Structure 1
């Protein structure tokens, strides 16, 4: 068995013992450290069905547990688990909580919220489309970044779905409001890699989309260049990438 399967076996007998469960997760969190225990996070989401307990864990704020604090690992586990539970319950309060958590100041919480939405997309992509299409209107930069990152998931992307992702990205770029604040920096970091994921899954529409944005503004040009240099594009589509990079230099 792999790590994830082993963790599922260890977690299952203690799921109803909240003290033992939380202690196990914290002790095996790999925090403080450079990489939280993602295998354990996903194993927990695979087996947990207890919405009440994970909702309680989401209430640990940064003041209670900063991003590198082992206790914050419970929040990370909760975010991914909420997505999995939503696939089974369609409980709207889960979506409301995930949306709030997408605005968390801790980057690892934001990452795990995206993982939670990916669980929904793996289960039913049309459901994720509806959630994000409804959510996009009025979404702030943190929430838009969450949408982009959640959709940049090769496990459920095909050409048709990637075309939808490109449409969403186009809307976000059209409404881009460059300001010197943390939320915009977070959004830009998301744009800096997600576009390449979509384009690699739908290259025909994707490269046309990238070409259409060249020269429109300095920040988008920077985003496009960063994506074009990603191996998933540069390695597999060298001629198209070279051509667009040349266009960027001319512009």
Structure 2
């Protein structure tokens, strides 16, 4: 099935209103048809516009909105004839839109949807859960950070990964206090990974967490060098092979160029076989 052109705002608004009224199938077909899946890149622009629209839902419609989004995350859509990739795209849209709902009203139900999306088997859905949490952090850093810390406390590698991905976003870290708290989140995630028994380190969910830490440490280190660079140096000099892998991955990032002299020792240490 050929990819359809994106719906304009008026069409998307009408389709969303119809879905809230109980007729979900036309919206599902329209979003799925413009998803660009199963290609290499989903239609993230459409997902973002849809999330904006959902976030603007009136208070008396938010319960129905959360229920609809939860349906897309939990099971098949109402239309069984969607094109390939359509069901996954709807779930990803639901994850991002849940962030918009949570940002607008701090709804517990929307937070639960984000958590469910964070541990979804589909990587696109997990990615949108983290991006959805960034919408919460952007609207209310304190509220978002409470949710991020709940993900950390779970100890579940995919939830921890979502916490890391949510805070490792440079535009969110312009305030020094936010940046320092982001370092704390990433360092806590590092500690959880390194405390994982060696027999579990090769599990898929743990590897997904390790991969996220392979870029996130440098993001938060640049935002708050006083707290972040020591973390990077600690990883580089660790006897743990995963810690040094995380250090090596981060030390290749161009964003660390201003700290090249300070990190010379860390680069040398991370490269040493142990």
Provide the C-alpha distance between the structure 1 equivalents of 2:41 and 2:178, rounded to a whole number of angstroms.
Answer: 30
Indicate the SS of the match to 1:239. coil
Query: 1:36-66: CA deviations, max 9, x gaps?
Result: 00000000000113223212111236xx99x
Contact 2:233 2:263 in 1 (8 A): no
Q: Does 1:213 align with 2:219?
A: no
Provide the C-alpha distance between the structure 2 equivalents of 1:153 and 1:242, rounded to a whole number of angstroms.
Answer: 25
Provide the C-alpha distance between the structure 1 equivalents of 2:125 and 2:190, rounded to a whole number of angstroms.
Answer: 24
TM-score normalised by length of structure 1: 0.88
Larger Rg: 2
The alignment's C-alpha RMSD in Å is 2.2
Q: Which runs of 5+ in 2 are unaligned?
A: 1-5, 19-23, 58-64
TM-score normalised by length of structure 2: 0.81
Q: Which residue of 1 aligns with 2:49?
A: 43
Contact 2:151 2:162 in 1 (8 A): no
Contact 1:27 1:70 in 2 (8 A): yes
Moved more, 8-17 or 114-123: 8-17
Indicate the SS of the match to 1:240. coil
Provide the C-alpha distance between the structure 2 equivalents of 1:116 and 1:191, rounded to a whole number of angstroms.
Answer: 19
> C-alpha displacement at 1:226, in angstroms?
0.4
Provide the C-alpha distance between the structure 1 equivalents of 2:207 and 2:8, rounded to a whole number of angstroms.
Answer: 35
| Equivalent of 1:132 in 127, 148, 169 | 148
Indicate the SS of the match to 1:33. coil
| Equivalent of 1:60 in 61, 65, 75 | 75
Contact 2:98 2:110 in 1 (8 A): yes
Provide the C-alpha distance between the structure 2 equivalents of 1:169 and 1:119, rounded to a whole number of angstroms.
Answer: 19
Q: Does 1:20 align with 2:26?
A: yes
Change beyond 3 A, Cα 1:236–1:175: same
Provide the C-alpha distance between the structure 1 equivalents of 2:7 and 2:15, rounded to a whole number of angstroms.
Answer: 14
> C-alpha displacement at 1:7, in angstroms?
4.5
Query: 1:160-209: CA deviations, max 9, x gaps?
Result: 21211211222222232142211111111111111111112112221122
Q: Which residue of 2 aligns with 1:202?
A: 224
Q: Does 1:222 align with 2:245?
A: yes
Q: Which residue of 2 aligns with 1:110?
A: 126
How many residue pairs match? The answer is: 242
